[in-house]
Amino acid sequence: MLYIFYGVDDYSINERLQELAAQLDDPESLALNTTRFQAQNLTLAEVTAACSVVPFLARCRMVVVNGLLERFESKSEGRRSADMNEWRDLAGYVSEMPPTTALVLTDGKLNKTNPLLKKLTPIARVQECPVLKGGQLQHWTVSQVTHRGGKITPRAAAVLNELAGDNLWILASEIEKLCLYAGNRVINDDDVREVTSYAREANIFYMVDAIVERKVARAMQLMEQLMEEGTAPGQLMHMLIRQYRLLLQLSDLNAAGLPMPEKQKQLGVAPFLMEKLQRQSSLYSLPRLVQTYRKILETDRSIKTGKWKERTALELLVTQIST
């Protein structure tokens, strides 16, 4: 059977993989019968060879391929056509694949027009994992607390989501700490504020994302919250400079026509951050990106030389970037 799990939320993708593994066989048996590939230079022959192997002392075999569908996203027509020529037979192979094999394709955000995704969808179990927002995120938070044997008030769940954001890896870590902290007691919003140590650092990233994506109201809200909680304006400025420097470096790498894995390697960032940077870079022309970066450096210099007060300078900067 073919499974496709893709989307921005890599935590949920990991959960889907674990759930599928639990359905297929016991962990020890399946661990000996699992093959994982990164798809950068992978060939169809390598995948079919792995899928055709009979499981050893187990009911099933699992083959996980990460990043294959990304190869068919927007790129030069020649490269995409060459990839399709090689992989067009994957759909035919799946129908002949041993019933003891589960082939799983995992990927980040994909366009619905992705040619290989469109070709495989009719014969696969497909699940998209977008970022959870609003009520869905709060429901997920409550369910995770319940799964760990705890209880949380709706207000506390909302406060936790506001502080820690929508990154499920961060939320899962904070939920585990809160459940241990509260014990048999219902978790309330005071517990969340007391225990959630990572929230401030996480919110810095969300503030920077809001500025880069020109969501001025959200950026101002997070900046005010962070400074009220004691975060130094210099730390906020440092993270903002870092993000725009990465975007400028990515612009150069995009112009050089490098593949995604090579760009990620050169920037030295995690896959989820690479996807976010790629998305954010599409919001700026190169001249505007350079202009914005210079403005940030000028503001940083004005703060350090005492020309502007930190808070005033940051508020003015956010407004200028967002317009």
CA angle 7, 178, 196 (to 5 degrees): 75
Q: For the chain, what is the mean pLDDT? A: 86
Q: Which pLDDT band, with edges at 50, 70 and 90, does 76 fall under? A: very low
**Region 121-137: what's the mean pLDDT?**
91
107 vs 258, higher pLDDT? 107
**Residue spans per domain, the chain:** 2-128, 134-197, 203-322
Q: State yes or no: pLDDT of 62 exceeds 90.
A: yes
At residue 79, the pLDDT reads 54
Q: State yes or no: pLDDT of 43 exceeds 80.
A: yes
27 vs 184, higher pLDDT? 184
Say how far apart CA 173 and CA 196 lie, in whole Å: 9
Write 301-307 long-range contacts (CB < 8 A, 24+): 303/233, 303/234, 303/237
Q: State yes or no: pLDDT of 110 exceeds 80.
A: yes
Q: Which pLDDT band, with edges at 50, 70 and 90, does 256 fall under? A: confident
- Indicate the DSSP class of residue 41: T
Number of Cβ within a 10 Å radius of residue 242: 11
Cα-only R_g, the chain = 23
**Region 23-28: what's the mean pLDDT?**
86
pLDDT tens by residue, 219-247:
888 888 788 777 788 888 888 898 999 99
Superfamily of domain 2-128: P-loop containing nucleotide triphosphate hydrolases (3.40.50.300)
Q: State yes or no: pLDDT of 74 exceeds 90.
A: no
**CATH architecture assigned to 134-197:** Orthogonal Bundle (1.10)
Q: Which pLDDT band, with edges at 50, 70 and 90, does 272 fall under? A: low
pLDDT tens by residue, 161-215:
877 777 788 888 889 999 999 999 999 988 888 887 555 555 788 888 889 988 8
Q: State yes or no: pLDDT of 122 exceeds 90.
A: yes
Q: State yes or no: pLDDT of 302 exceeds 90.
A: no
Asked whether 103 and 3 are in contact (CB, 8 A), the reply is yes
Q: Which two tokens stand for residue 163?
A: 């502080």
At residue 98, the pLDDT reads 94
| CATH code for the structural domain at 203-322 | 1.20.272.10
At residue 200, the pLDDT reads 57
> In the sheet where 2-6 sits, what is the strand order?
34-38, 61-66, 101-107, 2-6, 124-128
Phi, psi for 3 (deg, rounded to 5): -125, 140
Q: What percent of the chain has pLDDT over 70?
A: 94
